[in-house]
Structure 1
């Protein structure tokens, strides 16, 4: 395995050594063994996360598109349900591929960050495994890591637990109880943080249409919600304390990054999206915007994000439906005197309400033109039929 991972191991060792050098020479941390080596592992986590940030953005967008497309995916699956012949299976795959291609996504795009991180994680595992052997002279230097550097790393601890020790090799350490406690706490934190991040994605940032218990994608998400932490519970005991520190720091980064994305860029139709729309509505009301204007803008944003805009209802229709008290007037019905003159105007000289009204009127005009064209085509078709009858 070292032969395959050798380039990544060499790169990982140089990144850790460079961060350690910066911490000791620029920030005054003690050279040799000490917290600088622990922080170098944390620094490696930050470097890796920053490098894969574009992939993470792609993963978020791919996951969101897949969730939004679930109703259409289910239609295709129902269409070919029970058809096991080769032709039907091939057509189903072709229709699914065409759907993903149309919306610019792929079911595998959400796995990219994990696929990139796994070689780095295994390389770090092998680098930490090589440190004791380098310190004892059993193998040659690894990049900048020589005997002296390896010994300093070996003597660096996290609450008395050496970075290269693991739960399974605790008996070989000078303080085996410390190793077991630190490793156990880090593994427990990994399990809890992984469960939390998966639950955020599954329950809070998934549209209601995708949360059908019969939906295969939703089932997969639920399996991951409970399965991945369970796997970490057993696999974490085999990793060194340094790897667990890397993993724990990565999970903390994930929680912060994911919380920001879900709060500021949630999936349309999800609980997080409704909470964001409510926050924006309250913010606009605090700025002096009326309830009707805030509702109109919220509907415009929902339509732009791929949601469905609630169509304005006239007062007569509202009376028939028994909703007169809850009528939301259309932008076209908002009178000029109802607009707050102190409202902030944009570069085009319009307020948000005036801009919303213009958008509404433009759509109404487009609908009228479209309707007129349809009627014209019908008349032509009728005239052609009359001529053929003669």
Structure 2
């Protein structure tokens, strides 16, 4: 119960963090059976495992990126077409034409964002677990609980312990705040779990009667927290071998970003503010992360490096996988799936944007093309003389369009475009008539 007390209690991330905590606990217990009690190794395996579980979402994200390569020229053409048109009618038409492209290829814009929306909460929850391992792994909690009780009995407070920690993390801050209303031993454990070598030395000096017990726990803590000769509770230093962690973080993140973008057509950054921002972020973020490594314990840096290494191999594997897939065939499957989905929703694909989408986006607003498409969909005779005023595309088209459907929306725009053309024609005719009258006089 004490362990559960100080786990992250957020409404959304809390439950996810506890599930991840059970996975970490199982990994630690498994390694302990082989005589390996090391949080560094456990953390790396844990990071690999969780990222592996998220791989299907990463594949889906990459698939959307590959499909975007095929669609981007047409999407960019539409954006360029309406670049300087900010009025509502133009924005509506741009949205309509963009929807036409997506429907033509059977792709939903949301399919590119959904994997990230699912992945982010998991990654944030994973960070909470990594940062406070004793709260999620009972075996690690037990390493500190004994000395924590003795320190508490000696009159040392959680706040006093917090001042010995090199960096005041949210774990330490929360423990100090909660300890004001409770003397539960778990809050002492939370802070002790953040101790590095220097902090243990300070504690031994403050409690000389407990020096032997404190140094025994410090040695045990060092044993389970040492990875490649580095104490993961320490902070990296420039004049130390630990500087390799920030360097590896920068290098691996750059490689991971480049590999994930390999084979993906990037939009022209010179004429696209969003693309410029993304390019700048991709170039700057690895170095920002490297600097942040100096502000957090080595264990956090190891977590970042491990995640980057996994994504490097994952990116290579995904790129090889997609190099063997016919994306045109995938597009055809998407169109078919989209058609069946619309039929299940009670919509007739033939009366939606499908016919418009079959045309090149540059001719979506071509009145002649719209008239032919409308006549074909509504079963009207191709002979223009037999088309009634009621069914004319420029007079509302088929009145049986479902209210709020894409088809009704497209038809409304076609009607508005026709009305505008008629108005311009009348004005031009009147102007021409006046001109002719002026000439006769």
Tell me the TM-score normalised to structure 1 length: 0.54
Structure 1 or 2, whichever has the larger Rg, is 2
Question: Structure 1 residues 96 and 240, CA, compared in 2 at 3 Å: closer, same or farther?
Answer: farther
Aligned to 2:44: 42
- Asked if structure 2 preserves the Cα contact closer than 8 Å seen for 1:19 and 1:40, the reply is yes
Distance 2:268 2:15 in 1: 43
**Higher RCO, 1 or 2 (CA under 8 Å, sep at least 6)?**
2
CA contact (8 A) 1:164 1:241 kept: yes
Cα distance change on mapping 1:117 and 1:40 into 2, 3 Å: same
Give the aligned partner of residue 358 of structure 1: none
Of the three residues 318, 321, 332, the one matched with 1:264 is 321
Q: Give, in whole Å, the separation in 2 of the partners of 1:236 and 1:121.
A: 17
Q: 1:76–1:95: 8 Å Cα contact kept in structure 2?
A: yes
Q: 1:94 to 1:185 in 2, by over 3 A?
A: farther
Which residue, 128, 142, 148 being the options, matches 1:136? 148
Equivalent residue runs for 1:206-217 within 5 Å: 206-207=264-265, 210=267, 213-215=270-272
Tell me which residue corresponds to 1:161: 230
- State the Cα deviation string for residues 143-177 of structure 1 (Å, max 9, x = none): x99999x955554212443223334xx7xxxxx96
Any residues of structure 2 matched to 1:1-390 within 5 Å, and which? 2-4=8-10, 5-25=13-33, 28-31=34-37, 36-93=38-95, 95-97=97-99, 99-100=101-102, 102-106=106-110, 107-109=112-114, 111-112=116-117, 114-128=119-133, 136=148, 138=158, 140-141=185-186, 152-153=220-221, 155=223, 156-167=225-236, 181-182=241-242, 184-202=243-261, 204-207=262-265, 210=267, 213-215=270-272, 218-266=275-323, 304=329
Deviations 1:250-302 (A, max 9, x none): 11111111111112313xxxxxxxxx79xxxxxxxxxxxxxxxxxxxxxxx58
Say if 2:8 and 2:14, in contact at 8 Å, map to a contact too. yes
5+ residue gaps, structure 2, are: 1-6, 136-140, 150-157, 159-183, 196-216, 333-375, 387-441
Contact 1:9 1:123 in 2 (8 A): yes
Give the Å deviation of 1:223.
2.3
Q: Secondary structure at the match of 2:132?
A: helix
CA–CA distance in structure 2, aligned partners of residues 97 and 302 of structure 1: 20
Residues 47, 303 of structure 2: 8 Å contact kept: yes
Following TM superposition, by how much is the alpha carbon of 1:87 offset from its aligned partner in structure 2, in angstroms?
A: 4.3
Count of residues in correspondence between the two structures: 262
Bigger mean CA offset, 36-45 vs 229-238: 229-238
Judging changes above 3 Å, is the alpha-carbon distance between structure 1 residues 46 and 141 closer, same or farther for their aligned structure 2 residues? farther
- Alpha-carbon distance between aligned partners in 2 of 1:6 and 1:124, rounded to the nearest angstrom: 10
Q: 1:58 to 1:257 in 2, by over 3 A?
A: same
Q: Distance in 2 between matches of 1:241 and 1:260?
A: 29
1:196 to partner: Cα distance:
1.5
CA contact (8 A) 1:166 1:238 kept: yes
CA RMSD of aligned residues (A): 4.2
- In 1, distance between residues paired with 2:116 and 2:255? 19
For 1:129 and 1:237, the matched residues in 2 are separated by 23
